[in-house]
Structure 1
Amino acid sequence: MLSARSLFQEIVDNDDSFQLFCSIAAGGETQGGWENARIAALVPDSMRHLAPKITRHGADEDKHGRIFHALLRKRGLSAVAVPPETDYTMLLERRGIGLAHARLRAEERLTEDDIVVYLAHSRVTEQRAADQMDMLVRHFGDHPLVGKAIRVISHDEDGHLAYCHEELLRLAREGRGRTIQRVLRESALAEIAVYRDVSLAVMAHMGRLLHWPAPKSAAIAAGIRGTYAYERFAGWHRMISLSPPERRNALGGAPTPVPEFA
């Protein structure tokens, strides 16, 4: 019987598939670290109070990238090139979601609207990350190889999501509610399509590495498309709601060091 647990177990147990999984994850996290660092450097003067939290967000993402590289080293593996069709961040940018990398590479200050776009885009993508890590913690939180890493990352992702809720609610109270809802909706609808495409691409690569029979690959692809159909019909709404988080000021302190992974 196919399940998220059985599929991930297969991926973890095989060196080639585990190598690709960690390489994709590390690449995305490292990219997120760079993006947040650039946003923190370019945040407008009127929002400089957010710079330490954005910096903390980026430091967490960098830490996650190091964790995935450390997991590879523990298996005697090195990172491999990430196939372009599995690059979640790049594909989102191509759809015009979030802040363009060309803008972040420049030295011009961002605008307040840019920060609203950044936070709304992050609220959507951090929801995805938090949900994925929550699922992995449920199934693999006690795994001897990846359990501790998954728990650390999951805790951080929950904090990132809480931070996005808190800051967007504050901006909504300042009169930016309509803009926030528009950007959230655009981001969510684009994200669920990109997530479908990336999931299909990743599972196709895994299928080749693990020699899955055609019926198994077809069933997995059908499940991914079914999830997208549900999200496109109704599920995306939960990605744009805003509510006061239980964890307040989640990114208000220094990053939690994990030297055993670094």
Structure 2
Amino acid sequence: MLSTKSLFREIVDNDESFRLLCSIAAGGEAQGGWENARIAALVPPAEQALAPKIARHGTDEDKHGRIFQALLKKRHLEPVEVPAETDYTMLLERRGIGLSHERLRADRPLTVQDIVTYLAHSRVTEQRACEQMELLRRHFADHPDLGRAVRMISQDEDNHLAYCHEELLRLARAGHERAIRRTLHECARAEIQVHRDVSLAVMRHMGRILGWSRAKGAVLAAGIHAAYAYELLLGRRRMVVLRMPERRDALGEPTATPVA
């Protein structure tokens, strides 16, 4: 029977598919680490209190990248080059979502509107990250190799999402609500399309590695398209609603967590 758990186990149990999965994840996390570090360095004077939180966000992303690298090393595997069509971060940038790398490489302070753009983009993408890590935690929390990594990353993603909610609500109260709402909706529409495209690309690569039949590939592709249609029509709301999180100041106190 084809299930999410059996699909993930098939990918994790094969060295080549696991190698690709971890390489894609590590590349995305490393990119997020660089972006957050640059944003923290360019925070405008009016938002300097945010700089340590953004820096911690970047440190967490770097840590996640190292975790995926460590998982590869544990199985004596080397990372592979990430196929361009699976590069979620860069595909979002090409859609004009978030702050461009060109802007982040410029040594001039960001504006408050740039911070709104960054936080709205993060709120949407962290929603996706939280959901994906929750799915992995559900199926692999007790896995001898993946369990600790999945639990650690999932907790961090929950903190990142809580931070985005809290800071966007603060900025909304400061008079930026209309810009926040507009940016959230723009980001959500683009993200669900990019997520669909990346999911299809990843499944094609996994199917080639694992020798999936054409019928199995068609079923998985149909599922991805169905999820996209649902998100486009109904599921998008979860990405744009703002709620004060139960955990306040989630990135306010950095903690050092060793990477195995």
Where on the TM-score scale, by shorter chain, does this alignment land: which range?
over 0.9
Q: Which residue of 2 aligns with 1:84?
A: 84
Q: Residues 22-52 of structure 1, C-alpha deviation per residue, up to 9 Å, x if partnerless?
A: 0000000000000000000001011010000
Matches within 5 A, 1:1-12: 1-12=1-12
Q: Which residue of 2 aligns with 1:67?
A: 67
- Determine if the alignment matches structure 1 residue 135 to structure 2 residue 135: yes
Report the Cα offset of residue 14 of structure 1: 0.2
The TM-score, its normalising length taken from structure 2, stands at 0.99
Q: Which residue of 1 aligns with 2:40?
A: 40
Is the contact between residue 67 and residue 259 of structure 2 (CA under 8 Å) also seen in structure 1? no
2-structure distance, mates of 1:173, 1:259: 38
Amino acid at match of 1:171: L
Q: Which residue of 2 aligns with 1:169?
A: 169
Matches within 5 A, 1:139-158: 139-158=139-158
Report the Cα offset of residue 244 of structure 1: 0.6
Q: Which residue of 2 aligns with 1:116?
A: 116
2-structure distance, mates of 1:132, 1:256: 24
SS state at 2:110 partner? coil
Report the Cα offset of residue 75 of structure 1: 0.2
- List runs of 5+ in structure 1 lacking aligned partners: none
Q: Paired residues, what number? A: 260
Is the contact between residue 59 and residue 255 of structure 1 (CA under 8 Å) also seen in structure 2? no
Report the Cα offset of residue 78 of structure 1: 0.9
1-structure distance, mates of 2:53, 2:129: 18
2-structure distance, mates of 1:67, 1:248: 26
Q: Which residue of 1 aligns with 2:235?
A: 235
Is the contact between residue 30 and residue 62 of structure 1 (CA under 8 Å) also seen in structure 2? yes
2-structure distance, mates of 1:168, 1:256: 26
Report the Cα offset of residue 259 of structure 1: 3.5
Is the contact between residue 33 and residue 60 of structure 2 (CA under 8 Å) also seen in structure 1? yes
2-structure distance, mates of 1:258, 1:124: 28
Amino acid at match of 2:120: A
SS state at 2:236 partner? helix
Q: Which residue of 2 aligns with 1:196?
A: 196
- List runs of 5+ in structure 2 lacking aligned partners: none
Report the Cα offset of residue 256 of structure 1: 3.4
- Determine if the alignment matches structure 1 residue 50 to structure 2 residue 50: yes
Is the contact between residue 24 and residue 87 of structure 2 (CA under 8 Å) also seen in structure 1? yes
Is the contact between residue 130 and residue 161 of structure 1 (CA under 8 Å) also seen in structure 2? yes
Report the Cα offset of residue 233 of structure 1: 0.6
Is the contact between residue 38 and residue 105 of structure 1 (CA under 8 Å) also seen in structure 2? yes
Report the Cα offset of residue 4 of structure 1: 1.3
SS state at 1:234 partner? helix
- Determine if the alignment matches structure 1 residue 125 to structure 2 residue 125: yes
1-structure distance, mates of 2:81, 2:206: 14
Q: Residues 201-260 of structure 1, C-alpha deviation per residue, up to 9 Å, x if partnerless?
A: 000000000000100011000000000000001100110000010111000011431242
Q: Which residue of 2 aligns with 1:249?
A: 249
